[in-house]
Structure 1
Amino acid sequence: MPSADEASTSTAPPPSFKSLGLIDPLLEALEQVNFTTPTEIQAAALPDALQGRDIIGVASTGSGKTAAFALPILQKLWEEPKGLFACVLAPTRELAYQISQQFESLGAAMGVRCATIVGGMEMMDQARALAKRPHVVVATPGRLNDHLENTKGFSLRSLKFLVLDEADRLLDMDFGPVIDKILKVIPNERTTYLFSATMTTKVAKLQRASLSNPVRVEVSEKYSTVSTLLQYYLFIPLSQKDVHLIYLANSLAQNSIIIFTRTVHDAQRLSIMLRTLGFPAVPLHGQLSQSSRLGALGKFKSGGRRVLVATDVASRGLDIPHVDVVINYDIPTHSKDYIHRVGRTARAGRSGKSVTLVTQYDVELIQRIEAVIGKKMELWPTDTEEIAMLRERVDEAGRAATNEMKEQSGGKSARKRKRDRNGGDRDDRDRDDDVVEAGVPRGKKSKGRR
């Protein structure tokens, strides 16, 4: 029989969704989507959220925070099923679509209606969706503000809930002034949830401006990588990055792989080069049309394509299951971006690998990342003979990719001249906005837009 001391230190069983106070329709919906046990952030946030408190949630990407804010909103909607109920602001279009899908799957039994309002899509179609009085609007800030200013009959005056998801990234992308505008036209009497991977000074300022007597729940260390992630590096001359990338892709051919690049140009070039060499690769970056972006994500998620070549548009928030390997073709400048990138693999207790290509110009950056994550990366083993044999084919595929991009660029220029003659394209500014997501310097025209 255990002693009293032993009994007092034994761990309590994890809470269930039922014990946290959720109603039966939501418990049934959670069962349908195989959510069996609350994650840490859900267990920490739901009791106070269901009591009507404002919430600050500090949790890393992949921690289950979408359900942490969706479930209390849906429970309140079940009790008061009228009017525009909630508005969720997200930093990227893909994340906005993902949040909408989760609301719709969890709220299917109660017939929840969502509208996704993002750049790159027809304003008129979105205006019609808003006219149907959805319960939940999930939006990027710039496009939501466009509708508030230009769409007749649309307002947020009856709003009950405001959610700011990935708040640190919203503010990193200069959405602060647009969010301030939105805060001025929504009711003061509302419930607000602010979720962020990190608590920066900008996020703290936004918290003071938008929340009332909030409860803070924090379930993650500031910066960390999971123990099931094996982290490697390859130290190579800059001129040999492409051939080493193809060597890695060859070595890992049976795995699902995300390759991260710093620029849109490299994401497009490498995806063409990989396809030329027989790898099923798709690009994902901000200068693709919205339908192309969603199509690329869909193909990769379904396993139709095993390699996704992406800018940092894919590094935060997106739930892409079963990623075996993350390759950093370009080492990120900020350590937290590295952590978000490699966080695409080794999710939910699974194992995963990351490999970072390090050139002679990147040594300081890799040392900074190792200091932040508190561990040294291991050297990825290579076969110099095999790499030498690949060199000629890779160089040839690289030249073919460059030529194909020049041809594509020429075609785009001709289409742009035609649009200009016809008075321009109202969605041009949305394409400009996407350059920001991909890390390309922002032009004046796109400031604060999404």
Structure 2
Amino acid sequence: MATYPAQDASSSEDGSSPPPPDSESPSTPLPQTFQELGVIDSLCEACNTLGYSAPTPIQARCIPVALQGRDLIGLAETGSGKTAAFVLPILQALMENPQQLHSLILAPTRELAQQISRAVEALGATISVRCTLLIGGMDMVPQSIALGKKPHVIVATPGRLMDHLENTKGFSLRHLKYLVLDEADRLLDMDFGPILDKLLKLLPRERRTYLFSATMSNKVESLQRASLTNPVRVAVSSKNQTASKLLQSFALIPLKLKDIYLVHLLQERTGQMGIIFAHTIHETQRLAIMLRHLGFPAIPIHGQLSQSARLASLSKFRARSRNLLIATDVAARGLDIPSVDFVLNYDLPSDSKTYIHRVGRTARAGKSGIAISFVTQYEVELWLRIENALGKKVDEYKVDKDEVMVFSERANEARRTAAIAMRDMEDRGRGNRMKKRKRTRDDMDQEEK
């Protein structure tokens, strides 16, 4: 792991810095327009074009602090609009003092990095910002060529960025002005600590740094002390908070009937956009095959797919050519997919933090959404722990068992078909899975499987 000293956040001048000051009280009335925050007209125009009618709380509290030239720690729940909270100040600073290789934004996963890159390009369209994306799973040569054209903003995963710093001739970040560490808790959970150590040594000390995270763990506190100078901390949500317009429920069902209940639930939501979370790659593939056999437009996404296949799955889902995304926790964090009507936990997550990130895929940006969790007879204690972390009891999703069992024959046939297809896939891939290989930087910037 990283070499940052593991000290408590309340430590003072005994080798660590004191806790950063908080921003204004959350009870302070928030500005209602980006102009009121101090954002320049050209960027306000971009916000209007993208449908950003009013700043979200994290944007309203972070942007004025960032525009004052302060280092910043932003703590907010998933789906809060934090990407614009750091992109807008960076672009405004770039407008005031144009410079090549001006800003670096680090993200833990390829999908999140790609999403941030799109946001930079969209918000910077009116000011002709050049943005380069550096992620694993892609050819380094086109990326090196793009770096040679000296972009204004680089969005990268840590492993691929370090590969370019070590191997791409003429590329350095010695004159960087802004560094953003997005999903900082996730960066450290994925063992990027040693790479971050190296990167921080290569970056100039005279820079502005923004750190955004869903949680403020000891690791993140240590990273803050190593990378930020006298930061302002902005928190707009309490621990384990879900979106206010999210309607949560659970269905208590027998384990052996999960597939039948799934088919019944999806039949009730025909045509809606939904993400179904499962524990394993095997289960994700099996459910996708089973549902497609039943006529549901489902597509899987998990960490064992190639990067191009994962991006293709997300593109089809975003374009609504497939309205069901069957996912492992590869899709639980960071991905901003508009208009997801519901999230279904086919398998319960192992902890409340993952639950919150999963259900955060819906009810985003002020919209409403539904989250339903299947709870089998073996998972009642786990569900009670999740409820306890949420600080409230969740309503039960009650269904008529007779109505559910109408689908038993079709569901069981589809399950048998999927089992046969899975055996065939495993037979074809057994040889490749037997080969073990060392984990590389390219592997690291994927989400967990």
Tell me the TM-score normalized by structure 2. 0.89
- Aligned counterpart, 1:438: 448
Q: Is it true that 1:152 corresponds to 2:162 in the alignment? A: no
- Partner deviation per Cα, 1:188-230 (whole Å, 9 max, x = no partner): 1111000001111111010000000111111111111233222
- For residues 247 and 357 of structure 2, the distance between their equivalents in structure 1, rounded to whole angstroms, comes to 15
Which portions of structure 1, spanning 4 or more consecutive aligned residues, are displaced by more than 6 angstroms?
414-417
Q: Is it true that 1:65 corresponds to 2:82 in the alignment? A: yes
- Aligned counterpart, 1:447: none
- For residues 408 and 128 of structure 1, the distance between their equivalents in structure 2, rounded to whole angstroms, comes to 38
- Aligned counterpart, 1:205: 222
Change (3 A) 1:430 1:395: farther
CA RMSD of aligned residues (A): 2.3
Instruction: Decide which moves more: 67-76 or 222-231.
Output: 222-231
1:425 Cα deviation from its structure 2 partner: 11
| AA aligned opposite 1:208 | R
- Aligned counterpart, 1:284: 301
- Aligned counterpart, 2:49: 32
Instruction: Decide which moves more: 186-195 or 238-247.
Output: 238-247
Q: Is it true that 1:136 corresponds to 2:177 in the alignment? A: no
Query: Structure 2 matches for 1:8-407, cutoff 5 A?
Result: 14-407=31-424
- For residues 409 and 137 of structure 1, the distance between their equivalents in structure 2, rounded to whole angstroms, comes to 39
Would you say the 8 A contact 2:30–2:57 is kept in 1? no
1:295 Cα deviation from its structure 2 partner: 1.8
Instruction: Decide which moves more: 34-43 or 271-280.
Output: 34-43
- Partner deviation per Cα, 1:268-296 (whole Å, 9 max, x = no partner): 11111110110001111111122221221
Would you say the 8 A contact 1:73–1:86 is kept in 2? yes
- Partner deviation per Cα, 1:32-67 (whole Å, 9 max, x = no partner): 112121111111111121121100011111111111
Give identity over the alignment, percent.
Answer: 58
Would you say the 8 A contact 1:264–1:438 is kept in 2? no
- For residues 338 and 378 of structure 1, the distance between their equivalents in structure 2, rounded to whole angstroms, comes to 16
Secondary structure (helix, strand or coil) at the match of 1:204 reads: helix
1:146 Cα deviation from its structure 2 partner: 1.6
Q: How many residues align?
A: 423
Instruction: Decide which moves more: 12-21 or 367-376.
Output: 12-21
Change (3 A) 1:402 1:148: farther
Change (3 A) 1:124 1:413: farther
1:395 Cα deviation from its structure 2 partner: 2.4
Secondary structure (helix, strand or coil) at the match of 2:250 reads: strand
- For residues 432 and 233 of structure 2, the distance between their equivalents in structure 1, rounded to whole angstroms, comes to 51
Unaligned runs of 5+ in 1: 1-9, 440-450
Tell me the TM-score normalized by structure 1. 0.88
1:431 Cα deviation from its structure 2 partner: 7.4
- Aligned counterpart, 1:4: none
- For residues 432 and 239 of structure 2, the distance between their equivalents in structure 1, rounded to whole angstroms, comes to 46
- For residues 409 and 122 of structure 1, the distance between their equivalents in structure 2, rounded to whole angstroms, comes to 28
Unaligned runs of 5+ in 2: 1-26
- Partner deviation per Cα, 1:393-441 (whole Å, 9 max, x = no partner): 2222222223223333444457899xx9xxx999x9577547x6234xx
1:21 Cα deviation from its structure 2 partner: 1.5
Instruction: Decide which moves more: 384-393 or 241-250.
Output: 384-393
Would you say the 8 A contact 1:262–1:438 is kept in 2? no
Change (3 A) 1:261 1:415: closer
- For residues 198 and 257 of structure 2, the distance between their equivalents in structure 1, rounded to whole angstroms, comes to 48
Change (3 A) 1:398 1:349: same
| AA aligned opposite 2:368 | S
- For residues 155 and 63 of structure 2, the distance between their equivalents in structure 1, rounded to whole angstroms, comes to 20
- For residues 404 and 429 of structure 1, the distance between their equivalents in structure 2, rounded to whole angstroms, comes to 31
| AA aligned opposite 1:16 | T
1:239 Cα deviation from its structure 2 partner: 2.2
Change (3 A) 1:225 1:161: same
- Partner deviation per Cα, 1:262-319 (whole Å, 9 max, x = no partner): 1121111111111011000111111112222122112212222111111112111211
- Aligned counterpart, 1:446: none
- Partner deviation per Cα, 1:105-143 (whole Å, 9 max, x = no partner): 111122111111111111222222222211111111111
Would you say the 8 A contact 2:159–2:442 is kept in 1? no
1:11 Cα deviation from its structure 2 partner: 8.1
- For residues 271 and 378 of structure 2, the distance between their equivalents in structure 1, rounded to whole angstroms, comes to 31
1:152 Cα deviation from its structure 2 partner: 2.0
Secondary structure (helix, strand or coil) at the match of 2:371 reads: strand
Change (3 A) 1:366 1:425: closer
- For residues 190 and 13 of structure 1, the distance between their equivalents in structure 2, rounded to whole angstroms, comes to 28
